[in-house]
Amino acid sequence: MSANGFKTLLRWHWISSALCLVGMLGFALTGFTLNHAADIEAQPIVTRWQATLPAPVLAAVQAAQPKREGGSAPVPATLRQWAHQAHDLRLAVALVPEWSAEELYVAMPRPGGDAWLRIDLSSGEAEFEDSDRGLLALLNDLHKGRHTGAIWRAFLDLFAAGCLVFCLTGLLILHRHAGQRALTWPLTAAGFVLPALLVLLFIH
């Protein structure tokens, strides 16, 4: 490899390492917490409320109900406005609720928590529950891409590509210096052999 080529390699290596540094630290931390999830207790904070829809809101919800069983329809704008004004609850336009003959059910999962809203279509009784599992659960769900949406999943793909660049350029740099460092390839091989042995011997 020429001197200019090696300088380019080093540039790619330090740029990718700088871009991925915080993410790699975060994924290493959450990898540890996920591996010990059963040992780390978390007490979720649960918020609940019950209410009765005003007659005009209930009428709008009933009018929006799909005519056929199993049909779909968005959350009515009147219901979203009432939930926001009366209970500071934001129902996203993109939410896809579940309709049945008896009720409207809106699931609102998110990283680190979960929420749902149920409305009785005959009486207008509304029931809401929100469970917040805390910061650690949020970070764990971000690690897994759970309920994060397309933008975060795209970021994870870009982050994975950056890590590949970092690792591959590091491997080429190791190759460049291997002649001066006798332990380079034995240590590199150990990094492969040890996990492989653990899988073969202890994972069935």
Task: Give the Cα separation of 97 and 28 in Å (integer).
Answer: 36
The 10s digit of each residue's pLDDT in 3-15 is 788 899 999 999 9
Q: What is the mean pLDDT of residues 29-41?
A: 89
- Rounded to 10°, the helix 184-202/149-177 angle is 130
Q: What is the mean pLDDT of residues 22-46?
A: 91
- Torsion sign over Cα 48, 111, 139, 151: negative
pLDDT confidence of residue 199: 92
Whether pTM > 0.95 for this model: the answer is: no
Q: Cβ contacts of residue 117 below 8 Å, gap of 6+?
A: 83, 89, 91, 105, 106, 108, 126, 127, 128
The 10s digit of each residue's pLDDT in 98-141 is 999 999 999 999 999 999 999 999 999 999 999 999 999 999 99
Residue ranges of alpha helices (H) inside the chain are 3-35, 55-64, 77-87, 135-144, 149-177, 184-202
Q: To the nearest whole number, what is the mean pLDDT of the chain?
A: 92
Instruction: Retrieve residue 48's tokens.
Output: 């609940």
The 10s digit of each residue's pLDDT in 82-96 is 999 999 999 999 899
Task: Give the Cα separation of 148 and 111 in Å (integer).
Answer: 6
Q: What is the DSSP letter of 69?
A: T
pLDDT confidence of residue 82: 96
Task: Give the Cα separation of 147 and 181 in Å (integer).
Answer: 46
- pLDDT of 33 above 80: yes
CB 121 within 8 A of CB 62: yes
The 10s digit of each residue's pLDDT in 39-85 is 888 789 999 999 999 999 999 999 999 988 777 899 999 999 999 99
Q: What is the mean pLDDT of residues 141-155?
A: 94
pLDDT confidence of residue 127: 97
- The better pLDDT of the pair 114, 176 is held by 114
Instruction: Retrieve residue 77's tokens.
Output: 């704008």
pLDDT confidence of residue 42: 78
Q: What is the mean pLDDT of residues 198-203?
A: 90
pLDDT confidence of residue 71: 78
Q: How far apart are the first and last CA of the chain?
A: 44
pLDDT confidence of residue 181: 86
Task: Give the Cα separation of 64 and 76 in Å (integer).
Answer: 7
Task: Give the Cα separation of 172 and 178 in Å (integer).
Answer: 10
Q: What is the mean pLDDT of residues 140-162?
A: 94
